[in-house]
Amino acid sequence: MLLHVLMWLCMRTVFASQSEFSTDLESSLQQLLNLFTFYSKGTALSLGVALPNRTISLTSGHRRMYGNNVNDSGLALPSDAFAMGSTTKMYTAAAVLRLVDAGKIGLDDKALPHLDTLWTRLNGTSIVNVLGPQFGNVTVRQLLQMRSGIPDFDNMASRAYQLDHPGEDMGPVKELSFILPGQSFDCEPGTCGEYSSSNYELLGLLLAQQADSQAWDDYMQATGLPGNVLGEMPHTTFARHGSCQKYTEIHGYSAERTSAQGVPLDVYNESCTNGWTCGNLMSNGADAAVFVRALLGPGEHVVKAATQKEMLKTIPLTQSWSVGLPYGLGVMDLSSTIGEQTGSFVGHGGETFGFNALTAYSMQHDFAISAVANTENTFLVNKLMPEVYKRVMNATLPAKVESVIV
């Protein structure tokens, strides 16, 4: 009888700790967020943690940092969407790889025939006449892995143009026009790794052409992703037309331009298209965490297991921005941000006008984290991520069970 009582007490303790840890973890993370927004003087932060059995969704700070009253737009809510910039690339890569899984395209196909029909319709001439004959040798894999050799359209000129024309929704033809004439390729396709959002605008054209879209903005990005996964992401949209205020109540602040008083530019009335399929994701942290866990975690919720393995074959970037960053098929190895070994924490960063984010999946512990802020201050999110990771990891590690001698 005594043995049964002791076993019951032991089991009761285990189940109680399992039910209580989520509340304790959520409280700990909320305190952490509040601390970060306090020291950043009001930055809004959205945090999502996707665990095997639940999702945590938290925010801190105000929707608007500057105004007559810092509280004039209220507190940020867990349901509020933020512009997540290049985090979009994971979603675009997933849509392309689902076409690969379906046998509609091949990873090592030449990209040209899969997108040139739509490009020619938009621009009146083949993309080869714009980027040069080397484009005929660029493969789908090279676009996904940042190894096409095509330079980034996202440069000082394109950013200045968008800031000067805040109401213009720039599509791929306009964006790629910012690649300087005579500089269409920085290397022969496949011979260098260079982070370039141009690759993902071209992949957007591929997706749109495969969907029989007549224009770039006819393509509905959600159609390329599994409906059951999207059903768990109720706060996710993809901006095509209109300012950020059309998609969110969160104001974003860009340090690229400031007022005479040193206040960063509020981009709330600027187009949120952000490079279309390379940067137009609107989401809260929770939805983004759910997506990256579905994409890279156990099961085949987004792509097949063999395709997951292909995604995770990273090669370090060799030139321009972030030399040495291991990049796979639409994913970055972000293990260094949490001080873990290579290959343990994979996802994507995102920075756009007024916002920045980090989103990744723990390959070892089966949880995902996404943190996003309404400023371009990458320091803040980079400091937050390892603190969140440690708390989540410690909370989810199996508790030590002491031997009971009866």
pLDDT at 23: 76
pLDDT at 69: 57
Model confidence over 69-92: pLDDT tens digits? 555 668 999 999 999 999 999 999
User: Percentage of the chain surpassing pLDDT 90?
Assistant: 82
Local confidence band at 326 (pLDDT 50, 70, 90 cut-offs): very high
pLDDT at 17: 41
**C-alpha span between 201 and 175 (Å, rounded):** 9
pLDDT at 183: 76
Radius of gyration of the chain (CA): 22
Local confidence band at 357 (pLDDT 50, 70, 90 cut-offs): very high
pLDDT at 68: 55
**C-alpha span between 164 and 237 (Å, rounded):** 25
Is the pLDDT at 372 greater than 60? The verdict is yes
Is the pLDDT at 347 greater than 70? The verdict is yes
Local confidence band at 401 (pLDDT 50, 70, 90 cut-offs): very low
Return the DSSP state at 124: S
Pairing of strands 326-327, 315-316: antiparallel
pTM of the entire predicted model:
0.91
Model confidence over 218-250: pLDDT tens digits? 999 999 999 999 999 999 999 999 999 999 999
Is the pLDDT at 180 greater than 70? The verdict is yes
The mean pLDDT of 286-291, rounded to a whole number, is 98
Least confident window among 7-21, 63-77, 347-361, 363-377:
7-21
pLDDT at 112: 98
Model confidence over 89-141: pLDDT tens digits? 999 999 999 999 999 999 999 999 999 999 999 999 999 999 999 999 999 99
User: Structurally, what CATH architecture does the domain formed by 2-10+22-396 represent?
Assistant: 3-Layer(aba) Sandwich (3.40)
H or E, element range at 30:
helix 2-39
pLDDT at 259: 80
pLDDT at 13: 34
pLDDT at 226: 97
Domain ranges of the chain: 2-10+22-396
pLDDT at 402: 39
Q: What are 118-125's contacts with CB under 8 Å, separation 24+?
A: 118/205, 118/208, 118/209, 118/213, 118/216, 119/172, 119/173, 119/205, 121/214, 121/215, 122/171, 122/172, 122/173, 122/215, 122/216, 123/173
Here the tokens at position 181 are 């004439």
**C-alpha span between 109 and 257 (Å, rounded):** 42
pLDDT at 9: 31
Looking at every residue in the chain, the average pLDDT score rounds to: 90
Least confident window among 59-68, 138-147, 198-207, 395-404:
395-404
pLDDT at 266: 93
Here the tokens at position 271 are 């187009």
